[in-house]
C-alpha cells in the first residue's frame, strides 16, 4: 500500500501547473485518494530559462523535458506531466508516455489588436509567433505580413501584444482555455486551412517503463481516443524527423475504432507545401502515422529540406 505521496513533476509556468493540477484531480477522483497523496514538484527547464531565442536555435523541444526526465530516471519523480506538443518523438531509454488526458480543443487562436482576423490585418502588419509552423502558415496565407519570433509565457505574449509590439499573435486555444482565458481570442482558426501542431491540446504523462505500480495508477485516467490520435500524430512527426526546425502540421480524429489523419509539411516561407490524408483503424495508429509521413516525404522529394532543415 502506498504511504508516501506520489511525486508529480512539472514545469513552473501557470499553464504547466494547471495541467499538473488537472492530472492530480483526475487521479484523486479515479482512485478515491486525498490530495495529500500527491506532491507536485516544480522544476525549471532550460526551455523556460532561455526565452530570447527560438527553440530551433537553442536545441529544440527536448529543452522543456530534460530536467524532468533526469529526475524520472533517477527515481526522484514518479511521473511527469507535459504538454504533448513539447515532447520530442524519441524519448530517453527507459521512459514512455503512459497516459493522455482527454484532449482539449486543438485549434489555434488568433488574437488581433488592430484587426479581429488574420485575413483582415492591414498590409504590412506584424504578427508575433515562436512557432515555425504558425509562421509558415501565416506566410502562406498572408505573404504581405511581417512575422517575428515571439517567445515567452502566455501572459508575457499577451502583454507584449497589448503594448503594441505586434498587431497580433497566435496561441493554442487549449492553453487559453486551461488558464480561464477563452474570451481572449478574436478568431479561432479553421484546421482545414490552418492545421495545428501534432499533439496540440493534449496533456501527456511520462513514466518509467516497467513500473507496474505507476502504470496501474495512470491507466485509470488514460483517454483512449486521445492516446490513439496523438500516437498517430507523433508517428507522423517521427517519420519526418520532425523538429523545431521543420514546419509540420497534422491532426487525427478518432471516432470509435476509426481514425482519420490529415498532415501538412511546408517550407518556412510557406510558398511550398505537401499534404496527406489517410484513415484506418485506431489500433493501427502508429502505422498510419508512419505511412502518412512517408507519403509526404515522397511527395516532397529528397531536396525539400535542403538548406533549412
- What the block records as the C-alpha cell of 118 is 488574420
Asked whether 55 and 63 are in contact (CB, 8 A), the reply is: yes
Q: How far apart are CA 62 and CA 69, in angstroms?
A: 10
Strands 38-42 and 6-10: parallel
- What the block records as the C-alpha cell of 283 is 489500433
- Closest alpha carbon to 144 in 129, 128, 125: 125
Classify the phi-psi angles of 34: left when phi > 0, otherwise alpha if psi is within -120 to 50, otherwise beta: beta
Active site residues: 86
Q: In what order do the strands lie in the sheet with 95-100?
A: 38-42, 6-10, 79-83, 203-208, 95-100
| Farthest CA pair distance, the chain | 64
Amino acid at each position: 500500500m502506498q504511504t508516501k505521496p506520489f511525486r508529480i513533476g512539472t514545469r513552473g509556468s501557470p499553464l504547466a501547473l494547471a495541467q499538473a493540477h488537472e492530472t492530480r484531480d483526475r487521479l484523486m477522483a479515479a482512485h478515491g485518494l486525498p490530495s495529500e497523496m500527491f506532491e507536485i514538484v516544480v522544476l525549471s527547464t532550460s526551455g523556460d530559462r532561455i526565452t530570447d531565442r527560438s527553440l530551433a536555435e537553442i536545441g529544440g523541444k527536448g529543452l522543456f523535458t530534460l530536467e524532468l526526465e533526469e529526475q524520472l530516471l533517477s527515481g526522484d519523480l514518479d511521473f511527469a506531466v507535459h504538454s504533448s506538443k513539447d515532447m520530442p518523438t524519441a524519448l530517453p531509454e527507459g521512459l514512455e508516455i503512459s497516459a493522455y488526458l482527454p484532449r482539449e480543443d486543438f485549434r489555434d487562436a488568433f488574437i488581433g489588436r488592430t484587426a479581429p482576423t488574420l485575413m483582415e490585418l492591414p498590409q504590412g502588419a506584424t504578427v508575433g509567433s515562436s512557432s515555425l509552423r504558425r509562421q509558415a502558415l501565416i506566410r502562406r496565407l498572408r505573404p504581405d505580413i511581417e512575422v517575428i519570433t515571439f517567445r515567452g509565457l502566455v501572459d508575457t505574449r499577451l502583454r507584449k501584444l497589448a503594448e503594441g509590439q505586434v498587431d497580433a499573435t497566435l496561441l493554442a486555444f487549449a492553453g487559453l482555455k486551461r488558464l480561464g482565458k477563452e474570451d481572449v481570442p478574436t478568431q479561432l482558426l479553421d484546421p482545414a486551412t490552418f492545421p495545428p501542431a501534432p499533439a496540440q491540446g493534449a496533456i501527456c504523462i511520462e513514466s518509467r517503463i516497467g513500473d507496474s505500480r505507476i502504470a496501474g495508477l495512470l491507466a485509470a485516467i488514460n483517454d483512449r481516443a486521445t492516446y490513439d490520435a496523438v500516437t498517430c500524430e507523433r508517428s507522423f512527426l517521427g517519420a519526418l524527423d520532425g523538429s523545431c526546425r521543420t514546419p509540420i502540421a497534422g491532426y487525427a480524429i478518432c471516432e470509435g475504432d476509426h481514425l482519420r489523419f490529415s498532415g501538412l509539411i511546408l517550407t518556412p516561407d510557406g510558398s511550398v507545401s505537401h499534404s496527406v490524408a489517410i484513415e484506418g483503424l485506431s489500433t493501427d495508429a502508429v502505422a498510419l502515422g508512419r505511412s502518412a509521413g512517408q507519403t509526404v516525404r515522397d511527395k516532397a522529394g529528397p531536396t525539400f529540406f535542403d538548406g533549412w532543415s
